[in-house]
Amino acid sequence: MAVLVTGGAGYIGSHMVWSLLDAGEDVVVLDRLSTGFRFALAPEAKFYEGDIADRALLEKIFNTHAIDAIIHFAGSVVVPDSVRDPLSYYENNTVKSQALISAAVEAGVPHFVFSSTAAVYGTPQNAAPVVEDAAMKPESPYGSSKLMTEIMLRDTAAARRFTYTALRYFNVAGADPRGRTGQSTAGATHLIKVACETALGRRKELHVFGNDYPTPDGTCIRDYIHVSDLTDAHLKALQRLRAGGKSLVANCGYGRGFSVLDVIDCVRRVSGRDFPVETVGRRLGDAAFVVADAAVATRELGWKPAHDDLDFIVRTALEWEDHLGKRNQR
């Protein structure tokens, strides 16, 4: 059997492809390369360039390969952009996901692992780690678009022979410890990547978006998870579904948060470099505090993170940035 990875040339998707290949899986990738990179793809993966809503292309893939599972990463992910341009997010994240799910059901693909997000929760009512049955109050079209896809998966699983796992992840960071792939998107908004770029002199300064949040230092607090731990959770979710596990929604995070200023201090320490930081106004759609309760993933998936260390996350991110710099100089 084979696994179809949508968005497999992107940041998390490219790590997923390597994890699947390391586990001996046959991997097919579908990516339109809007934010992904061909160089990030493992050469052993079979690649199709195109859109997840291209029904003819999906039929070709399903007819050519024995796909028994889809791991769906393709989508738009920048929260402030979703606030400025909500309809594009609903089209790319929700409408096109509906087309993919529909094609999968029609082709008889039984299992689906979905890349969801903690943005479905919005700002929790208190500073405790958030659990999966917390109120769904997304504060951005990005979060709403992902929640709508979760609802479609839930209802499809109730109506058809189809099981899914939706993994709600928090702030993904770092890079493959073996240096095979990493976050390569130019102009990315992820804090750790931006801080690493600034430490290496590729940005003039780092902007802190608001310092008046109800947190100890006034900046937003997030649960940062290493990308390799995240792909391991997806692999375990796939294995569980194949073994007959029921549909599941689970958080992926470490259960503790770091503020924006904590991250900046960590990048300065690990890189050994200082860099300019400027505080500016709040950014649209940002929640003050979001940290995961990952007990469901631990219990149901048998997931045991191996890289729960902010210094390690930052170190792998810096190593990848150094690799990118050398690659771009060739």
Tally Cβ neighbours within 10 Å of residue 204. 9
Pick the catalytic residue: 89, 90, 142, 213? 142
Q: How many CA atoms lie within 13 A of 18 on its CB side?
A: 23
Angle between helices 96-107 and 141-159 in degrees, nearest 10: 20
Whether 136 and 214 have beta carbons less than 8 Å apart is answered as no
CA distances from residue 103 to 107, 209, 229, 232 in whole angstroms, order as listed = 6, 41, 30, 26
Residue 11 appears among annotated catalytic residues: no
Whether 7 and 73 have beta carbons less than 8 Å apart is answered as yes
Whether 41 and 8 have beta carbons less than 8 Å apart is answered as yes
- Give the C-alpha separation, 255 to 222, whole Å: 10
Question: How large is the C-alpha radius of gyration of the chain?
Answer: 19
- Give the C-alpha separation, 117 to 144, whole Å: 10
Phi, psi torsion values for 124, nearest 5 degrees: -60, 155
Catalytic positions are 142
